[in-house]
Amino acid sequence: MKNDKINILFVCLGNICRSPMAEFCMKDLIKKAGLEDRFEVASAATSTEEIWNGIGNPVYPPAREELARHGLSCEGKRAVQMNREDYGKYDLLIGMDHNNLRNMRRICGGDPEGKIHLLMDYTPNPHDVADPWWTGDFETTWQDIDEGCRALLAELEM
C-alpha cells in the first residue's frame, strides 16, 4: 500500500471467523489508542471455501454475535482470498494457526522479508488461536484474539 502507515493483514482459512474477529478487535484497539492515522488493518482467507463466484460470505453469525458482545460491528465485511501481491502491500501478515502460516508462505512464495507471523507469538504464551469452527466456542477464540491483538499493538507502539 502506498502510504506511510503500518499495514496489517490478518489471515485464517475462511475469513469468516477468526481473522475478521482479529481485524475488528485490532481496529477497535487502535481507535481507542488514538492511533488510526498510523495503522491500516484488513483480513483475508487462504482458501476459497467462503467465496462463491467471486462473492465472499459475510462474517459467520456466531462470530458476528461475539464481536457484538464486545460492542463491535463487522458490518459490510465479506470474505476475500489473499494473494501473492498482498505480500508487497502489507508490512505484517498475521496468521491464526500454523496451518495458516504454511498456506500463507505457499501463496506468497515464501517469506523473504520476515513479514509472516503467528498472532499468539506476540504473547507470553504462544499457541494457535482456538478454532471455533470445530469447537463452537467463540468466546475462547475472542479471548485469544483480544490478548494477541493487545500484545501486537503494544509491540508496534514501542
Give the nearest distance from C-beta 87 to ligand 4NP in angstroms: 20
Rounded to whole angstroms, the Cα distance separating 34 from 75 reads 22
Rounded to whole angstroms, the Cα distance separating 58 from 65 reads 12
- Answer yes or no: 38 catalytic: no
- The footprint of ligand 4NP on this chain (CB under 6 A) covers a number of residues equal to 10
Decide if residue 137 touches ligand 4NP (CB under 6 A): no
Decide if residue 15 touches ligand 4NP (CB under 6 A): yes
Decide if residue 50 touches ligand 4NP (CB under 6 A): yes
Give the nearest distance from C-beta 4 to ligand 4NP in angstroms: 30
Q: Which of 9, 16, 93, 149 binds ligand 4NP (CB under 6 A)?
A: 16
Give the nearest distance from C-beta 2 to ligand 4NP in angstroms: 29
* Catalytic annotation, pick one of 28, 86, 131, 144: 131
Which cell goes with 104?
Answer: 500463507
Rounded to whole angstroms, the Cα distance separating 70 from 142 reads 9
CA neighbor of 154 nearest in space, from 1, 24, 26: 26
Tell me the CA end-to-end span of the chain in Å, nearest whole number: 22
